[in-house]
Structure 1
Amino acid sequence: MTAVIRVVGLGAGDLQQLPVGIYRRLKETAHLYLRTKEHPVVAQLSEEGIRFETFDEIYEKHDTFEPVYLEIAETLLNKAAEQREVVYAVPGHPLVAERTVQLLLDMGKTRGCEIEIMGGQSFLDPLFARLKIDPIEGFSLLDATALKAAQLHPGLHTVIAQVYDKLVASDVKLTLMEVYPDEYPVTVATAVGVKDMERVETIPLYRLDQVEHLGNLSLVYVGPTEQADVQNRQFSYLKEIVAILRSPEGCPWDREQTHQSIRKNLLEETYEVLETIDDDDPDAMCEELGDLLLQIMLHAQMAAEDGYFTIEDIIAGLNEKLIRRHPHVFGNREAEDADQAMANWQQIKAEEKAKKGIDLAELSHLDGIPRDLPALPFAYKLQKKAAEVGFDWEDIADVYRKVEEEYRELREADAGEKPGELGDLLFAVVNLARFYKIDPEQALALTNRKFKRRFAYIEAKLREAGRSFAESDLAEMDRWWEEAKQHT
């Protein structure tokens, strides 16, 4: 005879709400096990003379819930193997927010034990009735002990179950605050549908972990909203806005744009982000990153309209690539330092090219540098790639001699030769920067900013004197320049 565990739900309220079939099963079974005695029906079962065992002592043995649930499931399977048939009773409905039942369903398959679900009333029925909401409008049921912000959708009725105590409530509050404002109203319900025990109150979100009646039968309800301060934080809303802008009912300018027409915008917005990084200005960086994201969204929307790809395709490709190229994080490779991590990355890139049918032997070692990269960083990357195969100066003294050589050739060159000779000199200076492990682009950017500050000092001095550049001369401006060097 196959071992059987018959799982029944004790409902959300009192004994009067139990279906007759479940009540009879509880009365007639010889082996009844309850997950916990902390339920309104349990005292009434005792009064009816029904004998049972509970697993409350297992909760005392572990610091987290998952090992508790695993031990309960394991114990039940062993009991069923010994006794052939047992009844397992859980609060509410067996298939609503009941982890032990899910474990039994999974483990029973490999243990040759049949798991029969006999039903019961969940806490959702009295909750919907109490709050007068219709879940068909859109409904989400989440676990408070494993809540993530990505699970929250402000347009849905959201019920967060298993808010056992103030510690769990605090975690729930902090997660909700990633999506909702601090003052957003939430409803805390305890023992909903249970006579003389029910407590329901609506409070601001920031007070969630101050509620006194939290316990095993507590949950949090968050109502749907379209208010701007919530909607504006949703990526899906951004996608919707961009699609509207590009629609026939949208903005005439946005509708006319193409990938090519806004190509320069992508570069400009990137440089504006870099400026905020150099200025160490987080507020400005936040705004400029938004402008850069808009360019990505516009390109994705145009591609979606043409049937090429969507923003979801972009995200999927990126996620797959990040996981694939970080096997030391998501796989079984090792990377003890940044160099080894980069070696993994490069090896995987090479494997990806080979899978695409690209003959690596036919590629130049200098391939892979974006052709539209500005000339200074382009030169830097060229030299780094050449150095990887040994084509490099052996000593920095050789680099200095090369700079001096190119400088002399520039001075001696004819007018028509000077552009090329100047390029040679700049290329040699980039080599010097590389030997010193200095990014030449950043170095020149620092000097540019320094020049601007010192020139602004000259302008300030002229304003103080009530004069213009036309009323000054180079000698005077040079004196102020020297003064500026003392201050900047």
Structure 2
Amino acid sequence: MQPHITVVGLGSGNEDQLTLGVWKLLQAADKLYLRTDQHPMVTMLTMNNIAYESFDALYESHDTFEGVYEAIAGELIALAKSATAGIIYAVPGHPMVAEMTVQLLRDRCSQEGITLQLLGGESFLDQAFLRLGFDPIDGFQLLNGTALSVHSLNPQLHTVIGQVYDTFTASDAKLTLMELYPDDMEVVVGHALGVVGEEKIHRIPLFELDHLQDYGNLSLVWIPRTDEDKLRNRTFARLHEIVEVLRSPEGCPWDREQTHQSLRKNLIEEAYEVLETFDEEDPDHMAEELGDLLLQIMLHSQIEAEEGGFTVLDVIEALNEKLIRRHPHVFGEALAGDANEALQNWQQIKQEEKRQKGIDPEELPLLSGVPRELPGLMKAYKLQKKAAAVGFDWNRLEDVLEVVESELAEVKEAIAQFSKKEQQEEIGDLLFSVVNLARFLKVEPEEAMTGANRKFFERFGYIEKQLRLKGKNFDQTDLQEMESLWQEAKKVLYIDNN
């Protein structure tokens, strides 16, 4: 006879809810095994002289639940193979609801030549629907309290969190929930729902979730669904929906008219506004500007979605796959001891991706790969860096300074003798040589320029403020007075900034 395991559900704990078919099997069982004897139905088994063995001892001999469940499944398979008749394995609730040992048996029994039969029982969800009074058709999800992630949360779904065994699990769940939900939002904790004399239902603010001391094997947490804007506005789905509405016929006339080309300058401006916040000590402002930049990505994605190109979900998918693919030292088996090795991995994988697209990296121009639309100083820096990598570079600082001085002399000559077009060309050469000097000194020219702009802004603002204090405007002053205030600003602002 082929080895046989029958898995039955003991229900939610109320003996009146136990199915007749399961009860008959329990009474007739030759060998009955329980995952745990910590369940209200065990009392009924004892009262009816039904013998059983439990696997509770395995919980003490393993450090993780996963280890316990693996051990239980292994023992059941061994017991089934050695038994002369089939064995009965009873689990709390329903065999297919939050029961990892059953999932392991489903995966392994066929490979081991064992017949596996499952018989349902009332799960804790049945009592949750009854006792808490919500209909899952409105939108429902069941999550594991021992592995809760904020990325799984959706405020528009009723959320039941099972396997909240103790205050430690409740504390971890609370911290995760508070990433999305307000601290004082009411949540419901249910213990032994539907079990006469043992049921407890607590309605408490979220921040008190780990204050309760009566958690156990039959505990759950319920967060009612809500369409409240404050919560929905913290989800990516809501952002996606809003952008779709803005671009719809019923949306905003300005947003509807935008194209990739018309939004070019907006994308650049928003990126630079984000950069400005890096020098401020204002996280709220940074969050706001990052949001404005994210909006540009959403708008461009929505334009493509309307034209049948791609959606923002395609953008996210491609990015996720690229990040995983280019970080084999994180998501694979490659090694990277430091940032340089990680960067080398990244570059090697980029080259391989090009080959897979039919592009030979060896045949590409050395200076390819520098974005055409980069700001001038940044683009010059990257071009020079690529050229320097193959030895096209000066060896001494003195040589670089000579080039800068030579280019400055050519600018002076162009001013004296040549046209505006030639003057522009010579000024470009001078700027390019200054970028080369910055690179040689390991100074980011764009950052240096940003600092110079900021310094000019502050000093000129000081001049304007001092004139105002004197009751003057710019029409009532001259260059000599402004130069004097400029020199004063250099001293005053230097002291303030240091």
**TM-score (structure 2 length as normaliser):** 0.95
Residue number in structure 1 paired with 2:225: 224
Give the number of aligned pairs. 488
Residue number in structure 2 paired with 1:250: 251
**Is the partner of 1:197 in helix, strand or coil?**
coil
Residue number in structure 2 paired with 1:86: 87
The structural deviation recorded for 1:402 is 1.4
Asked if residue 457 in structure 1 is aligned to residue 462 in structure 2, the reply is: yes
The structural deviation recorded for 1:269 is 0.9
Residue number in structure 2 paired with 1:187: 188
Residue number in structure 1 paired with 2:109: 108
Aligned-partner Cα distance in 1 for 2:452–2:263: 30
Aligned-partner Cα distance in 2 for 1:237–1:121: 36
* 1:31-430 alignment runs, 5 A limit: 31-84=31-84, 85-413=86-414, 414-416=417-419, 417-430=422-435
Q: CA RMSD for the aligned pairs?
A: 1.4
Match of 1:473 among 464, 471, 478: 478
**Is the partner of 2:222 in helix, strand or coil?**
strand
Please give the per-residue CA displacement for 1:351-401, whole angstroms capped at 9, x wherever unaligned.
111221223343211011111111111100100111111111122222122
Aligned-partner Cα distance in 2 for 1:468–1:250: 45
Consecutive unaligned residues of structure 1, counting only runs of 5 or more, are none
The structural deviation recorded for 1:2 is 2.1
Aligned-partner Cα distance in 2 for 1:77–1:243: 54
**Is the partner of 2:182 in helix, strand or coil?**
coil
**Is the partner of 1:248 in helix, strand or coil?**
coil
Aligned-partner Cα distance in 2 for 1:468–1:257: 41
Residue number in structure 1 paired with 2:496: none
Aligned-partner Cα distance in 2 for 1:76–1:138: 37
Please give the per-residue CA displacement for 1:391-446, whole angstroms capped at 9, x wherever unaligned.
11122222122112222222233342332222222111111111121110000110
The structural deviation recorded for 1:267 is 1.0
**Is the partner of 2:159 in helix, strand or coil?**
strand
Aligned-partner Cα distance in 1 for 2:280–2:479: 31
The structural deviation recorded for 1:237 is 0.9
Aligned-partner Cα distance in 2 for 1:313–1:421: 46
Please give the per-residue CA displacement for 1:48-76, whole angstroms capped at 9, x wherever unaligned.
10111111111112332111111111121
**Residue 140 of structure 1 contacts residue 158 of structure 1 at CA under 8 Å; is this kept in 2?**
yes
**Residue 199 of structure 1 contacts residue 213 of structure 1 at CA under 8 Å; is this kept in 2?**
no
Q: Which amino acid aligns with 1:432?
A: L
Q: Which amino acid aligns with 1:470?
A: D
Aligned-partner Cα distance in 1 for 2:398–2:330: 42
The structural deviation recorded for 1:161 is 0.6
Q: Which amino acid aligns with 1:333?
A: A
The structural deviation recorded for 1:253 is 1.6
Greater Cα shift, 105-114 or 91-100? 105-114
The structural deviation recorded for 1:450 is 0.9
Q: Which amino acid aligns with 2:292?
A: D
**Is the partner of 2:221 in helix, strand or coil?**
strand
**Residue 181 of structure 1 contacts residue 229 of structure 1 at CA under 8 Å; is this kept in 2?**
no
Aligned-partner Cα distance in 1 for 2:252–2:454: 38
Aligned-partner Cα distance in 2 for 1:277–1:361: 38
The structural deviation recorded for 1:172 is 0.9
**Is the partner of 1:60 in helix, strand or coil?**
helix
Q: Which amino acid aligns with 2:60?
A: E
The structural deviation recorded for 1:185 is 1.5
Please give the per-residue CA displacement for 1:294-313, whole angstroms capped at 9, x wherever unaligned.
11111111111111100111
Residue number in structure 1 paired with 2:19: 19
Aligned-partner Cα distance in 2 for 1:334–1:109: 38
Aligned-partner Cα distance in 1 for 2:122–2:79: 26
Aligned-partner Cα distance in 1 for 2:405–2:266: 40
Aligned-partner Cα distance in 1 for 2:254–2:413: 53
The structural deviation recorded for 1:107 is 2.2
Aligned-partner Cα distance in 1 for 2:282–2:184: 29
Greater Cα shift, 309-318 or 136-145? 136-145
Aligned-partner Cα distance in 2 for 1:263–1:408: 37
Residue number in structure 2 paired with 1:6: 6
The structural deviation recorded for 1:463 is 1.6
Q: Which amino acid aligns with 2:140?
A: F
**Residue 34 of structure 1 contacts residue 55 of structure 1 at CA under 8 Å; is this kept in 2?**
yes
Greater Cα shift, 38-47 or 272-281? 272-281
Aligned-partner Cα distance in 1 for 2:256–2:425: 44
**Is the partner of 1:278 in helix, strand or coil?**
coil
Q: Which amino acid aligns with 1:343?
A: Q
**Is the partner of 1:358 in helix, strand or coil?**
coil
Aligned-partner Cα distance in 1 for 2:428–2:254: 41
Residue number in structure 2 paired with 1:448: 453
Greater Cα shift, 381-390 or 338-347? 338-347
**Is the partner of 2:317 in helix, strand or coil?**
helix
Aligned-partner Cα distance in 2 for 1:308–1:110: 45
**Is the partner of 1:178 in helix, strand or coil?**
coil
Please give the per-residue CA displacement for 1:64-95, whole angstroms capped at 9, x wherever unaligned.
21111111111211111221522111100111
Q: Which amino acid aligns with 2:304?
A: A
Aligned-partner Cα distance in 2 for 1:17–1:372: 69
Aligned-partner Cα distance in 1 for 2:39–2:241: 46
Aligned-partner Cα distance in 2 for 1:116–1:436: 74
The structural deviation recorded for 1:483 is 2.0
Q: Which amino acid aligns with 1:441?
A: E
**Is the partner of 2:432 in helix, strand or coil?**
helix
Amino-acid identity (%): 57
Please give the per-residue CA displacement for 1:304-339, whole angstroms capped at 9, x wherever unaligned.
111110011110111111111111111222221212
